Structure 1
Amino acid sequence: MINQLNLHVPPQINENLEKKNITEPTPIQQAVIPKALNGESVMFRSQTGSGKTLAYVLPLLAAIEADQQTIQAVIVAPSQELAVQIESVIKEVTDQTTLSSMAFIGGANVNRQVEKLKKSKPHIAVGTPGRLMELIRLKKIKLANIRMFVLDEVDRLVEEQESWKDVEELGKRLGYNVQGLFASATIPKGLEDKLKVFSPNVEKLEENTSTLPEQIEHLAVMIEERDRIDTVRKIVHAEEIKKGIVFVNHLDRLNETVEKLRYRKVEAVALSSEQTKTDREQAIARFKSGAASILVATDVAARGIDIEKVSHIIQLDASRSFESYLHRAGRTGRVKEDGKVISLLNGQERYLKEKYEKYLNIHVNEVFLKNGTLISE
């Protein structure tokens, strides 16, 4: 892979990629990496599971001078889980090299992070906007040697007003001369103008494919309002789901869903933005290990979660926006594996089916439960 892309990085990185069966660049990597290596700032949209993390990580690694033990790149993510996940990818790719990275996330003890920075400075700082800016204001992270600035899931960062204030402040402090790489699943209206505040010369690249992978099947089940949670239980059994994520729109629905599923012998765990960092980590660990087959989550809690082998996404509460549907659906069908997204809709929500189809260029097949099986109309 490295040879094809003309990346000047330690040879061990190529070996690490081969261990992960990454030998050919994906289309978005082929599009982004040469421009990034050329010093251009790029905003790029690609479907989930398309390899966008390596599209910015590899040119970033190529730009780092390993013998200078200073922070030379910053990666900003909208959630703690995504920041940790990005840093774990970097660690896997840079194993057995002198390139280093650290994650700085809200919810973790800031004093411990300060102590880590006193002992050694990583080449790459990955973190959430609030915590990164906190450490910058404390002068524990210095910006003088930073060459590259990455925003992952930039569409999500823009949605959160407080997060975007921190992102904008960081961008302005870095100045126009720092190269920016901005990854997104969607490009909302006005995003380019927001980026121009701190990165005026950005080229936009969009992967020439549909927004969602073709191998994802989209289904809708019409329901009575009172039957939502029990319908989820029936779908879990009908589809023999070993690893599925159930999305709800409100926190009060989340705990009710988990309790009722557990009562009916479905091993479920909750993922909430109100949980402590430890509780969130334990929930994800149980889900990853298979101890729980169902993860019940809100959009905020599930941002950026990349868990292998998720076969089903169930919208217990259908999202009102196609952008939210896109992010939910993107948790399955990764790396060319099959996946299903099943939306529960009452009579008043039927219009959402047409909305998803129109804006995402997908077909949502209407199905119903009969004798413990999902059957097409």
Structure 2
Amino acid sequence: MSETFSFDQLPSFLVEALKEQKIEQPTDIQIKMIPEALAGQNLIARSQTGTGKTLAYLLPALAKVNKENKNLQVVVLAPTQELAMQVVDVARSLTEKESIVIGSYIGGANINRQIEKLKKQKPQLAIGTPGRLLELLEQKKLKLHEVQVVAVDEADRMMAERPSWEATMQIAKRAGRDTQFLFVSATIPKDFSEQVADAAPFVVQLEAEGSLVNTEKVEHLFIRADERDKIDVARRLIHAENIEKGIVFVNQLDKVSETAEKFSYKGIKTLPLSSDQSKHEREHALRSFQKGETHILVASDVAARGLDLDDVTHIIQLDAPSNSDSYLHRAGRTGRMGKSGTVVTLIDRRSEYKLDKYRRDLKIELAERILARGKLLTK
């Protein structure tokens, strides 16, 4: 695909909406995916987070909506409530001046209220979590007979969570033979084409340019620290780097609140973000962080996947992640859309072997740093 592709192949209302949002140049994944998707190809596209994947599937999907047809025409599936709501926001911002009806159907929200709304008006674009959408289909509140496009966001993550994947495949099979499937993913799982063959027999794989991890603008560092000292080392690091927008990752869910409390006690503006919290608590944490009232989010992997947070400067891994995929997703929270960022992993003796694994799998340089005299210094 030539680099001269612009958004001109899209309907004018989408081109106008992009202009208003000052989005004039497509990213690599958009250059590769949009023309193929407009041509009707089934796709699985790999591109790390922060590279414009949402627009890469939403724009061609919205381009196929026939506004005169009041039936459901596009379905977007996302693995978490937060990600689904972010996609809803993007879709609404693109269709503000168009009469395309968008419905959001997420687990955790009141299903009866969703059913009441459906009685009054059917969506042309439905965005939601797979379990809830399948429930509404089984109750015959939504119908897929005129659906043209099914898009699956974070397909790798969906596959890792059995119930979500089974619901996704159920929806895909009900959509019928002529439906187009667009899968986007930060990694392409093994045997992906075989896994989806029942619903989508021919899937073309696309990969965005660049390594899995942003190595141009993101520094990957590590600090050696004993397990018992890690929270204190992280606290000193936050002060040394004067971090105003950072995420601290922990491996265990039960350590999220405890770590956040210890930071808060030391005067750092911190909030926890975990899958144990209510939707309201998570929304509050994210809003406070985006507004700059909270400087540090302490998060578990599940809570932070798929979050679209702007201007995160630092990722601190209090615990080294168990696998390279997890490192990839955490690191993808910073250095988004060409901005710079820093990922610092705290390594104890037991976890040292993981450094070689990250270097090998992700092709990254990992440089050692020490904290001394209130500064982060090269060893």
Pair in the same fold by TM > 0.5: yes
Answering whether residue 132 of structure 2 is matched by residue 131 of structure 1, we say yes
Matching residue of 1:64: 65
Q: Matches of 1:5 and 1:22 in 2, distance apart?
A: 9
1:300-331 CA-to-partner distances (Å, cap 9, x unmatched) read 11121001111111111111110111111111
Report the equivalent of 1:153.
154
1:351 aligns with 2:345: no
Per-residue CA deviations over 1:161-209 (Å, capped at 9, x if unaligned) read 1111111111111133210000000012122211213111100111231
1:41 Cα shift?
A: 0.4
Structure 2: stretches of 5+ with no match in the other structure: none
Residue 319 of structure 2: aligned partner: 317
Q: Hey, which bits of structure 1, 4+ residues long, moved more than 2 A?
A: 1-8
Determine the structure 2 residue equivalent to 1:39: 40
TM-score (norm 1): 0.97
AA matched with 2:265: Y
What is the alpha-carbon distance in structure 2 between the residues aligned to residue 351 and residue 101 of structure 1?
Answer: 48
- Aligned partner of 2:378: which letter? S
1:85-141: CA deviation from partner (whole Å, max 9, x where unpaired): 111111111111112312211111111111221221221111111111111111111
TM-score (norm 2): 0.96
1:288 pairs with 2:290: yes
Give matches, 1:292-307, under 5 Å. Answer: 292-307=294-309
Superposed CA RMSD: 1.5
Superimposed CA distance per residue, residues 207-236 of structure 1 (whole angstroms, 9 cap, x where no aligned partner)? 231112221111111101101111111111
User: Equivalent residues in 2 for 1:1-377 (5 A)?
Assistant: 4-9=6-11, 11-213=12-214, 214-377=216-379
Structure 1 contact 72–148 (Cα < 8 Å) conserved: yes
What amino acid is aligned across from residue 281 of structure 1 in structure 2?
E
Where 1:245 maps in the other structure, the secondary structure is strand
> How far off is 1:30 after superposition?
1.3
Corresponding pairs, count: 376
Q: 1:3 to 1:91 in 2, by over 3 A?
A: farther
* Partner Cα separation in structure 2 for residue 322 and residue 30 of structure 1: 27
Deviation at 1:8, TM superposition (A): 4.4
What CA distance in whole angstroms lies between the structure 1 residues aligned with 2:265 and 2:5?
55
Range 94-103 or range 352-361, more displaced? 94-103
Shift of 1:47: 2.2
Cα deviation 1:33-79 (Å, max 9, x = unaligned)? 11111111011101222111111111101111011122101111111
Q: Cα offset for 1:158? A: 0.4
* Range with bigger deviation, 45-54 or 333-342: 45-54
Contact 1:7 1:59 in 2 (8 A): no
Residue 12 of structure 1 and its aligned partner are, at CA, apart by: 3.2
User: What is the percentage of aligned positions where both structures have the same residue?
Assistant: 45
Any gaps of 5 or more consecutive residues in structure 1? none
